[in-house]
Amino acid sequence: MGKHTIIAIAGASASGKSLFASTVYQELVAELGCERIAIISEDAYYRDQSHLSMAQRVLTNYDHPSAFEHQLLASHLLALRDGQAVKVPQYSYTLHTRTEETLLVQPAKVILVEGILLLTDKHLRRQFDITVFMDTPLDVCLLRRMKRDLEERGRSISSVAEQYENTVRPAFFEFIAPSKQYADLVVTRGGKNQIAIDIIKTKIRQLLAEK
């Protein structure tokens, strides 16, 4: 591995990717400092849709690779590897578009990236040094997504159910499940699997000691 290590955490929507990644990040950043570890979400790279009306935005398939600007994410990961800071877009799930703000992410020795389709894109896969797949049963994901989307993303029961049937579930079988083959580590039991969290933390500490 080179000077920088990029760790991808993929899996179904609500499988626990962001809880897992943010727990690893929070538990390590205090110990290591933010110049050594950074975190990015693939969701930040949903395409800007500010030119579309709300009625048009709700028709987008947010579970299809075309919904993401993966090229921008790939170029940001390359820049971070090269020691340059990047301006990560910020995305609003309620407005279905990017906000005006960006978040300046500084280059770090270890970069955690989490998102549903990270392992489906061969250009992105080339950037990852370590790959993790959250293997949470789909019924558990649906229940967690329902609760989260009602509480945090301004959705209704019927809108979550409709989107789940139309795009979320089909995309899981078409894109996400087949991408599990590219994972180095498969994590069961979601974002609170402390043994898996500790394994990744130990690996990160070991990599940083070598750099």
Ligand X SMILES: O=c1ccn([C@@H]2O[C@H](COP(=O)(O)O)[C@@H](O)[C@H]2O)c(=O)[nH]1
Ligand Y SMILES: Nc1ncnc2c1ncn2[C@@H]1O[C@H](COP(=O)(O)OP(=O)(O)O)[C@@H](O)[C@H]1O
Site residues (vs ligand Y, CB under 6 A): 11, 13-19, 144, 148, 189-192
Nearest to 167 by CA among 55, 11, 8, 12: 12
Q: Does 46 bind ligand X (CB under 6 A)?
A: yes
How far apart CA 41 and CA 118 sit, in angstroms, is 10
What residues have CB less than 8 Å from 130, skipping those under 6 apart? 5, 6, 7, 8, 184, 185, 200, 203
Residues 166-185 that bind ligand X (CB under 6 A): 168
Least distance (Å) between residue 1 CB and ligand Y: 25
Residue 4 vs 7, nearer CB to ligand Y: 7
Residue 60 vs 207, nearer CB to ligand X: 60
Residues 74-133 that bind ligand X (CB under 6 A): 93, 96, 116
Residue 121 contact, options ligand Y, ligand X, none, Cβ 5-8 Å cut-off depending on partner type: none
Residue 79 vs 175, nearer CB to ligand Y: 175
Among 16, 38, 63, 113, binds ligand X (CB under 6 A): 63
Residue 89 vs 191, nearer CB to ligand Y: 191
